[in-house]
Amino acid sequence: MSEEAIGEAAEPIGENGPADATGVPREPVRTRLSDGRELLYFDDEPNVEHTAVDRRGLEPAEITSQARWDVLTREWTVIAGHRQQRTFRPATSDCPLCPTRGDMLTEVPDDHYDVVVFENRFPSLAASAAASVPVIDEPPFRSGPGVGRCEVVVFTDDHTASFASLSPRRVETVIDAWTNRTEELQARPDVGFVYCFENRGDEIGVTLAHPHGQIYAYPFVPTRIARTGRSFLQAAAGGDGCLQCNLLQAELAAADRIVIAGEHWVAYVPFAARWPYEVRIVPRRHLGSLPELNAAERRELARVYLDVLTRFDRLWDSPAPYIAGWDQAPVGDWGKGWHLACDIFTIRRATGKLKYLAGSESGAGVWINDISPERAAARLRDSN
């Protein structure tokens, strides 16, 4: 798939659905909110009923997202002016991600849940944009509807929790949700790349305090992902095999940037880390996307993921603001030979000090890191 392409055909991969404790896939419970958006319940245990109905009487929103192509940088930008109306730091009593209880009507109709996924009410991308946004192809200007899909993943019905406080079993359920959504979204004809991620902390710009993440199904392959895919393809074509596999073996041999080395997963600080504290979690087995994980890999991933987040929180005397995101195989040619990885990083470089993307980073695109990867890895190893 070209990095310029919007909405080329996608091919599904892996097995469907989340997995229960035995590793047998099962489907989530699906329902619709009052404005027609889809909501899915993923439960820690099977056979849980969810029959509550959304009583808010919402009208479908008009989505005006555009995807615009920059001919100089060869990057897509999404313009989504309707998002100015999205919910911004509500009081706990008005949290839209808490369960519905009594007269407090929220995005989740049930009065309890484990993990839920639903279409974002204020999405950056949505299939419905095609109905109101025209296609423009008048060089040098090129744009089209910001189709795709944006989903919210709520990790728990406990407003005061955090991802790091979840049980391993709950994290397995979150992984099952990521897996299910990745496979289903990758099969859509308007999707080029599926990105599962979490923003955590006021410093990151999080607008809802309830523990949650998001899934973006882009109608194109983002530039960074396309560039990585090109590197994978060039290495394979040159007889060098998988770059990620080679890099993992080199990091294991060097050892000084390794944070966790499990049976199925390794977490390490990248040699050329951009952020003050940055960890890459990589499966030892060569695979491209979350749906390809087996039961043993899912179980160990839950524990390694929690371990890394706990180490981040122990670096300072207050919880670390962080971003965590999965680099999965994009749809089409850029995904051939891809090796799955999760990047977790914090913008905090010291107590009371943040890493800002100023002139060099934002203007020239050259990152300058104040903390060496080796020092960062040593601190993370010591923070368990």
Residue 25 has pLDDT above 80, yes or no: no
pLDDT of residue 21: 47
Share of the chain above pLDDT 70, in %: 93
If one counts every other C-beta atom within 10 angstroms of the C-beta of residue 383, the result is 15
* Bridge partners, 216 (sequence order): 150, 195
User: What does the pLDDT look like over 298-355, one tens digit per residue?
Assistant: 999 999 999 999 999 999 999 999 999 999 999 998 899 999 999 999 999 999 999 9
Q: Do 305 and 171 contact (CB within 8 A), yes or no?
A: yes
SS3 per residue for 131-145 = HCCCCEEECCEEEEE
Inform me whether the pLDDT recorded for 28 exceeds 90: yes
- Rounded Cα gap, residues 87 and 97, in angstroms: 11
94: which DSSP letter? Answer: G
Contacts for 145 with CB less than 8 Å, ≥ 6 apart: 65, 66, 67, 129, 130, 132, 133, 134, 135
C-alpha neighbours within 13 Å on the C-beta side of residue 286? 13
Q: Give the pLDDT confidence score for residue 14 in this predicted structure.
A: 31
Across 102-122, average pLDDT: 97
Per DSSP, what are the bridge partners of residue 41? 29, 116
What are the distances in angstroms from CA 1 to CA 65, 108, 162, 169, 333? Answer: 22, 37, 37, 37, 5
Q: How far is CA 74 from CA 108, 118, 179, 361, in A?
A: 39, 32, 30, 18
Widest Cα–Cα separation across the chain: 63
Torsion sign (Cα): 339, 24, 176, 310? negative
Domain regions of the chain by residue span: 29-222, 225-382
Taking residues 117-135, report their average pLDDT. 95
Count CB neighbours of 97 within 10 A.
Answer: 22
Catalytic positions are: 212
Report the C-alpha gap between 233 and 175 in whole angstroms: 28
End-to-end CA distance of the chain: give it in Å, rounded. Answer: 42
pLDDT at 86 over 90: no
Q: Which CATH architecture has domain 225-382?
A: 2-Layer Sandwich (3.30)
Quick: pLDDT tens for 40-84. 999 999 999 999 999 999 999 999 999 999 999 999 999 998 887
CB 321 within 8 A of CB 198: no
Assigned superfamily of 29-222: HIT-like (3.30.428.10)
User: Token digits for 110?
Assistant: 């049930």
Q: How far apart are CA 1 and CA 215, in angstroms?
A: 21
174 within 8 A of 166, measured Cβ to Cβ = yes
CA–CA separation, 270 and 279 (whole Å)? 7
- Cα torsion through 372, 374, 377, 383, rounded to 10: -90
Strand runs (DSSP E) across 73-230, as ranges?
75-79, 115-119, 136-138, 141-145, 149-154, 193-200, 212-218
According to the model, what pLDDT value does residue 8 have? 33
If DSSP codes are grouped into helix, strand and coil, which group holds residue 248? helix
Query: What confidence tens digit (pLDDT) does each residue in 247-298 have?
Result: 999 999 999 999 999 999 999 999 999 999 999 999 999 999 999 999 999 9
CA distance 26 to 384: 34
CA-angle at 229, arms to 223 and 231, nearest 5°:
105
Other Cβ atoms closer than 10 A to 201: 18
Locate 122 and state its tokens.
């204020």
pTM above 0.85, yes or no: yes
Q: Given this chain, do its domains 29-222 and 225-382 carry the same CATH topology?
A: yes
Residue 104 confidence (pLDDT) above 90: yes
354 contacts 348 by C-beta, under 8 angstroms: yes
Using the 8-state DSSP alphabet, how is residue 369 labeled?
A: -
**Pair of tokens at residue 47:** 């056979």
